[in-house]
C-alpha cells in the first residue's frame, strides 16, 4: 500500500510526512514571495518605455502593481486563515455569482472592449478578469462534487454530465469574450482534478475531444486566432511569414533571449522593451528577464517555480482529506500550467496566448488569485505538514 493519499482510497499518511499541527510550509510562502518580489522589479524595468509612450510617469505600472500587491496579500491572508470548508459550503453561490458577473461583462458597458475583447469587468475602482476567478471556482466545485459523491466517476451518466455542464458554462462564457486560451486552461485544470479524482483516462480524452469541438468552432469564428495559429505552424517554412505579422512578437521575444546570453545585458538595460516587444511587462515579461538577467538567472526563476511546485504537491500528497487533496492539487496544477504556457510562448514553443506569468506579470487579478492559492495551500499544509522533510 502506498504511503500517500490516493483519490480512490483513504490511506494513512506516512510518518515521513507528518509534523506538528498548525505549522505551515513556510518554504512555499518563501518561494511565492521571491517570485512576487522579482515581479515588482521586472515590471518596473520592463514598463518604463510603455509608460512614456502613454505619457505616464516611468513608475506608473510599478505603483499600480504595488496597489494590486496589497489586495493580493489580503487574499493570501484570507486563503491562509479561512477554513477551506467555507469554500465547500458556498461554492454554488460563488459560482452562480461569477457566472452572473461574466454575463454582465459580455452584455453591458461594464465589460469594456480592450484589444477587441471583453475580458475584464469594470467595477469602477478597478478592473477584474472574471475568468481567473472562475477557474479557481471550478476547482473548488469539482473537489466538492468528487468528495460528496465519491462514486460519481464510476460511469458516465446523467449525474456526472449535469456537473460537467455546470462547469462548462463559465468555460463557454470565457470563450465568447473571446478568450480561447483562458477557456482551454479551465478545461485543462478541470481535467487534472477529474483525473486525480479517479476518472478513467479514456473518459478524460473523450472530455478533451468534446472541448476541442467548440474550440475549433471558435477558431473558425475568430479570424485573428485562426491566422495566429496557422502563422505559428508555418513560421519557419517558405512563405510562412518570417518575423512579420502574427509571428512578430515571438521573434522579438527570441531576439531578447539571444541578446541576454548567459549573464544578461544588465537590469534596466534591455532593448526589446523599447517598443520592439509588445506587452513587455505582461505577456512577455519572461523574455525581458532572459534579456536583462541572462540564461543563468532565468534558469533560477524556472527553478523557483519548480521548487514551488514540488513543495505544493508534497503538501497535497500528504493529505488524507479528499476535498483538500483535490483542491490543493487543482490550484497547484493551475499555477504551474500557466507558468509553463507563458514560458513556452516566450520561447516560441507555443503560439501567443495572452496568459500571464503567475506572480511576475503585471496584472491585479492574476496576482490576487495566485497568492490566494498559495494561502490556501499553506492553510492545507497546516493540517498534516509541510511535506517530506
Predicted local distance difference test score (pLDDT) of residue 387: 40
Which residues have CB under 8 Å from 164's CB, separation 6+? 207
Q: How many residues are recorded in the chain? A: 389
In a domain, 134, yes or no: yes
Please state, in angstroms and as integers, the Cα–Cα distance from residue 251 to each residue in 15, 58, 231, 235, following that order.
50, 26, 12, 10
In a domain, 308, yes or no: yes
**What does 119-180 look like in DSSP terms, one character per residue?**
--EE-SS-EE-HHHHHHHHHHHHHHHHHHH-TTGGGS--HHHHHHHHHHHHHHHHHHTTT-H
Compute the distance between CA of residue 192 and CA of residue 187 in angstroms, rounded to an integer: 9
Are 252 and 277 in contact by the 8 Å Cβ rule? The answer is: yes
Predicted local distance difference test score (pLDDT) of residue 230: 67
Q: Is 9 exposed, middle or buried, given 0-12, 13-18 or 19+ CB atoms closer than 10 A?
A: exposed
> Consecutive 10-residue runs of the chain (389 residues): their mean pLDDT?
42 37 83 97 95 92 96 96 95 96 93 85 88 96 95 90 95 90 92 93 83 73 68 62 66 93 95 89 95 97 97 92 96 96 93 91 95 96 59
- Sign of torsion, CA 219 224 228 230? positive
Predicted local distance difference test score (pLDDT) of residue 236: 60
Predicted local distance difference test score (pLDDT) of residue 223: 64
Number of domains into which the chain is organized: 1
Q: Give the predicted TM-score (pTM) of the model.
A: 0.89
In a domain, 348, yes or no: yes
| Domain around 246 | 15-384
Q: Which residue has the cell 463557454?
A: 172
Compute the distance between CA of residue 176 and CA of residue 381 in angstroms, rounded to an integer: 37
In a domain, 150, yes or no: yes
C-alpha dihedral over 309, 352, 280, 75, to 10 degrees?
-40
In a domain, 290, yes or no: yes
In a domain, 132, yes or no: yes
DSSP one-letter code for 212: H
Predicted local distance difference test score (pLDDT) of residue 3: 40
In a domain, 306, yes or no: yes
| Cα 146–chain centre separation | 22
Predicted local distance difference test score (pLDDT) of residue 7: 47
Cell of 143: 473537489
Predicted local distance difference test score (pLDDT) of residue 389: 43
In a domain, 370, yes or no: yes
Amino acid at each position: 500500500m502506498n504511503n500517500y493519499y490516493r483519490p480512490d482510497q483513504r490511506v494513512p499518511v506516512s510518518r515521513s510526512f507528518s509534523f506538528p499541527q498548525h505549522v505551515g510550509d513556510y518554504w512555499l510562502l518563501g518561494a511565492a514571495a521571491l517570485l512576487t518580489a522579482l515581479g515588482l522589479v521586472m515590471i518596473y524595468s520592463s514598463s518604463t518605455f510603455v509608460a512614456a509612450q502613454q505619457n505616464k510617469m516611468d513608475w506608473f505600472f510599478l505603483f499600480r502593481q504595488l496597489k494590486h500587491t496589497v489586495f493580493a496579500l489580503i487574499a493570501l491572508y484570507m486563503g491562509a486563515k479561512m477554513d477551506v470548508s467555507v469554500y465547500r459550503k458556498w461554492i454554488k453561490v460563488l459560482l452562480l455569482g461569477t457566472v452572473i458577473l461574466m454575463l454582465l461583462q459580455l452584455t453591458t458597458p461594464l465589460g469594456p472592449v480592450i484589444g477587441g475583447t471583453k475580458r475584464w469587468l469594470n467595477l469602477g475602482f478597478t478592473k477584474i478578469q472574471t475568468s481567473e476567478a472562475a477557474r479557481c471556482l471550478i476547482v473548488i466545485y469539482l473537489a466538492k462534487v468528487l468528495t460528496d459523491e465519491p462514486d460519481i466517476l464510476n460511469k458516465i451518466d446523467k449525474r456526472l454530465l449535469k456537473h460537467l455542464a455546470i462547469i462548462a458554462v463559465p468555460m463557454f462564457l470565457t470563450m465568447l469574450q473571446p478568450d480561447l486560451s483562458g477557456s482551454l486552461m479551465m478545461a485543462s485544470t478541470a481535467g487534472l482534478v477529474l483525473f486525480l479524482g479517479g476518472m478513467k483516462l479514456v473518459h478524460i480524452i473523450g472530455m478533451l475531444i468534446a472541448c476541442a469541438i467548440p474550440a475549433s468552432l471558435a477558431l473558425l469564428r475568430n479570424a485573428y486566432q485562426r491566422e495566429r495559429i496557422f502563422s505559428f505552424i508555418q513560421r519557419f517554412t517558405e512563405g510562412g511569414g518570417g518575423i512579420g505579422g502574427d509571428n512578430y512578437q515571438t521573434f522579438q521575444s527570441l531576439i531578447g533571449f539571444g541578446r541576454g546570453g548567459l549573464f544578461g545585458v544588465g537590469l534596466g538595460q534591455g532593448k526589446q522593451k523599447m517598443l520592439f516587444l509588445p506587452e513587455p511587462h505582461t505577456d512577455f515579461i519572461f523574455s525581458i528577464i532572459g534579456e536583462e538577467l541572462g540564461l543563468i538567472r532565468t534558469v533560477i526563476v524556472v527553478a523557483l517555480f519548480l521548487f514551488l511546485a514540488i513543495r505544493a504537491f508534497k503538501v497535497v500528497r500528504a493529505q488524507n482529506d479528499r476535498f483538500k487533496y483535490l483542491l490543493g492539487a487543482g490550484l497547484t496544477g493551475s499555477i504551474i500550467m500557466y507558468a509553463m504556457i507563458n514560458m513556452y510562448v516566450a520561447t516560441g514553443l507555443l503560439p501567443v496566448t495572452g496568459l500571464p506569468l503567475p506572480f511576475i506579470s503585471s496584472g491585479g487579478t492574476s496576482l490576487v488569485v495566485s497568492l490566494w492559492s498559495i494561502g490556501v495551500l499553506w492553510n492545507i499544509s497546516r493540517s498534516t505538514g509541510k511535506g517530506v522533510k
